[in-house]
Amino acid sequence: MTAVLEIRDLSKTYRTLRRGRRQALAGFDMTVAAGEVHGFLGPNGSGKTTTLRTLLGLIRPDGGEMRLLGQPVPERLAEVAGRVGAIVESPQFFPHFSARDTLSLLADAGDVPRTRVGEVLELVGLRDRAKDRIRTYSLGMKQRVAVASALLKRPELLILDEPANGLDPGGIREMRDLMRSLAADGMTVLLSSHILGEIQQICDSVTIISLGRRVAAGPVEEVLRAHSAASVRVRLEAADDLPRAAAALTEAGGQVTSLPDHLLVAAERPAWITRTLADRGLYVSELAPITVDLESVFLELTGTAPVAGQARQVDESVVVGGHA
């Protein structure tokens, strides 16, 4: 596995006169392998944007090491910047220029042929609105311009911070398809997003950050498996047999939760459940593994699941090993 992005022990503390010290990154680690679509998740204020901005030379880190495409950054960022396309946070462009002007000025500044401008405008679906001023664009259209600007230099690594922000459902699907096709062409994509369903669908691996530290990382399936209390839903032909079944499974060493019309059996193989019940003359009508999704893992790991009657504050997340 060749890593195109490596971050080790990255730290950053903001110091302001008004708010004092605020630690945004506290020894954060991340690795993104070449050719994968990597999801970068974290609650608001967890340090995602600080990480991306630090990686791209916009913010000076207090400590740690970073490498982009094998080169140490920020020391040799200028050498690899031409191979990295990025958008950070919400798209911001000079409102009185058209998308075409904006992109052609960037192309000129980066020695990219202007013919590429038309190609990326076509790619993000802005061909027919390219000559309109950006101030007339919706948030989703500005987002498309941002993605177009990142794609302009045919990057090897594409870093996108909330690319689906403001997009309509069709736009989100287009963006997903675009990511997939870029990844299929060999581009590595680092995708920061809050749309966890999207991340789960298109990402090969993820890193989850909370309060400036990595709380989970790895292939999506592994993260789901490692952080889910896997259980199996069991129904019987006769609901009256459920107490007997619960007793039998408990007696055989299983952890059982009884519910009115089914049982939940924790962390056991379905075959063991079937055999245990059949040995006692109980026959299963439904045996379904309860799957967890990325959203529930994310909420669990970051401690940001909503609680009825409570208004969670932005920085109320968890750190590794305990609650903040």
Partner 1 sequence: MSLYLAELRRLGKRRLTRFVLVLLILGLGAIVVAMTASSQKSGPAAKAKAEVAAEADYQEQMGYHRQFVARCEAAKEAGTSQQQGMPTDCAEITPPQREWFSVEHYLPFELDFRELFPIFIAVFAGILALAAYLVAASFVGAEWSSGGMTNLLLWRPKRLTVLLTKLGAVLTGVLATGLLLGALWTVAFWLIGRYDGTLGGMTPGVWRSFALDGARGLGLVLAVTTVGFGLASLGRHTAMALGAAVAVGVISEAGLRIATSVIGVPFPGRWILSSYALAWFNKKWTLIDVQSCAFDPVNGCVPKEFTITWQHSAIVFAAGTALVLLATLWTMRRRDVA
Pick the closest to residue 95 from 137, 126, 151, 123 (CA basis): 137
Distances (CA, A) of 157 to 86, 92, 105, 256: 8, 21, 22, 47
In the complex, minimum distance from the CB of residue 53 to partner 1, in angstroms, rounded to a whole number: 7
In the complex, minimum distance from the CB of residue 98 to partner 1, in angstroms, rounded to a whole number: 10
Residue by residue, DSSP assigns 105-163 as: HHHHHTT--THHHHHHHHHTT-GGGTTSBGGGS-HHHHHHHHHHHHHTT--SEEEEEST
Indicate which single residue of 7, 10, 56, 69 sits in contact with partner 1 (rule: CB under 8 A): 56
Q: How many whole angstroms separate alpha carbon 115 and alpha carbon 86?
A: 20
Binding region for partner 1 (CB under 8 A) out of 70-78, 230-238, 260-268, 298-306? 70-78
* 64 binds partner 1, rule: CB under 8 A: no
Q: How many whole angstroms separate alpha carbon 80 and alpha carbon 163?
A: 22
In the complex, minimum distance from the CB of residue 51 to partner 1, in angstroms, rounded to a whole number: 13
Indicate which single residue of 1, 17, 109, 308 sits in contact with partner 1 (rule: CB under 8 A): 109
What amino acid occupies position 88?
A: V
Indicate which single residue of 4, 10, 30, 59 sits in contact with partner 1 (rule: CB under 8 A): 59
Indicate which single residue of 33, 77, 230, 287 sits in contact with partner 1 (rule: CB under 8 A): 77
Indicate which single residue of 44, 58, 173, 314 sits in contact with partner 1 (rule: CB under 8 A): 58
Indicate which single residue of 63, 70, 72, 95 sits in contact with partner 1 (rule: CB under 8 A): 95
* 53 binds partner 1, rule: CB under 8 A: yes
Distances (CA, A) of 314 to 42, 48, 155, 188, 294: 11, 14, 34, 31, 20
The token duo for 210 is: 């909370």
* 108 binds partner 1, rule: CB under 8 A: yes
- In the bound state with partner 1, the residue whose beta carbon lies nearer, of 86 and 209, is 86
Pairing status of strand 213-219 against strand 188-192: unpaired
Residues at the interface with partner 1 (CB under 8 A): 53, 56-60, 74, 77-78, 81, 86, 88, 91-97, 101, 105-106, 108-111, 149, 153
